[in-house]
Amino acid sequence: RAYSAEIERKSRQVEEAAAELARANSQLREIDIQKDEFLSQVSHELRTPMTAIRSFSDILLSAPELDEAGKRRFLQIIQDESIRLTKLLDVILHLSRMENGGIGWESEPFDPESALDLAMASCEVLARSQGIALKRTKRARQVLVEGNRDQLAQVFINLISNAIKYNTSKAPLVTVSSATHNGVYRACVDDNGSGILKSDRERVFLKFSRGPMPQQAGTGLGLAISRQIVETMGGALSLCESRLGGAKFTVALKTVRAAPKLPPAEATQR
Ligand code: ADP
């Protein structure tokens, strides 16, 4: 009897292992499908600037009668498209490196307000040139979060420039606020534009997903990479309706304690 119980136990283990293998297999197949989809999206996105470069260089080579102004115009397009291509490749590589678990930056405690200040300063010119009021309202007290300041500043730049770029209001307004509560630092970018439909609020975070204003320059990667950066820092990036009527993006990051200061003797021994 002990023998048959043992056989039963073993055969149950074999069945469980087989079920586990089947699950792993279907997960791998799912990842494979996602990778294929990503590759075909990437090739599609790269083809547009490549085609422009190819056709304008063809024209330059086959039309010697072109005057100087015409040549310069085509060369300028080739240069602009190559710059766009390089930027696109950089973003794709950065994103795929992070998705594969590589951080690609130094991680250390820093004050997130300094990243927000940097982003505000860098978006001011854009806001002014588009006649958009960019305002700083509530401000968090000084705290520390773990991650990288430049990467977080890039996230804020993406959010603020989107709020400017997609704002079609007659009196466009973008407000930036921050606060810390219960050990969580939150920074919000609110706008009074047309907002994002509830049904699209998760879709906009997908790679290459673009909304109804494709005339605005963009790659559809800004929000995907921003969410990846914030999540790599252990935080969350979410979207809801703003009280101003448009979209409201919130970055939430856990605060950390400052490393205790070492007494001078120990500090110098290090
Ligand atoms: P991109 O701006 O290059 O298209 P993003 O990933 O930054 O890529 O944004 C994806 C889409 O989300 C945009 O094409 C736009 O339709 C929508 N979107 C992003 N931010 C806003 C906003 N503040 N208001 C309205 N729509 C927005």
pLDDT of 221 reads 87
Average pLDDT of the segment spanning 125-141: 93
Q: Is 193 in the pocket of ligand 1 (CB under 6 A)?
A: yes
Position 270 pLDDT exceeds 60? no
Inform me whether the pLDDT recorded for 24 exceeds 70. Answer: yes
User: How far apart are the CA of 267 and the centre of ligand 1, in A?
Assistant: 47
Per-residue model confidence (pLDDT) at position 124: 93
User: Sign (positive/negative) of CA torsion 69, 74, 80, 82?
Assistant: negative
Q: Please determine, for the modelled complex, whether the ipTM score is greater than 0.95.
A: yes
Span from the CA of 166 to the centroid of ligand 1 (angstroms): 7
pLDDT tops 90 at residue 157: yes
The 10s digit of each residue's pLDDT in 72-125 is 999 999 999 999 888 888 888 888 888 777 777 788 999 999 999 999 999 999
190 C-beta closer than 6 A to ligand 1: no
Encode pLDDT of 50-67 as tens digits.
999 999 999 999 988 889
Confidence category of residue 15, pLDDT binned at 50, 70, 90: very high
* 247-266 residue pLDDT tens: 999 999 999 987 666 676 65
Ligand 1 touching residue 245 (CB < 6 A): no
Q: Which atom of ligand 1 is nearest to the CA of 194?
A: 25
Q: Give the per-residue pLDDT at 261.
A: 65
Question: Residue 34: its pLDDT value, please?
Answer: 75
Q: How does strand 133-136 pair with strand 108-110?
A: unpaired
Q: Is 196 in the pocket of ligand 1 (CB under 6 A)?
A: yes
Whether the pLDDT of residue 37 is over 90: the answer is no
191 close to ligand 1 (CB < 6 Angstrom): yes
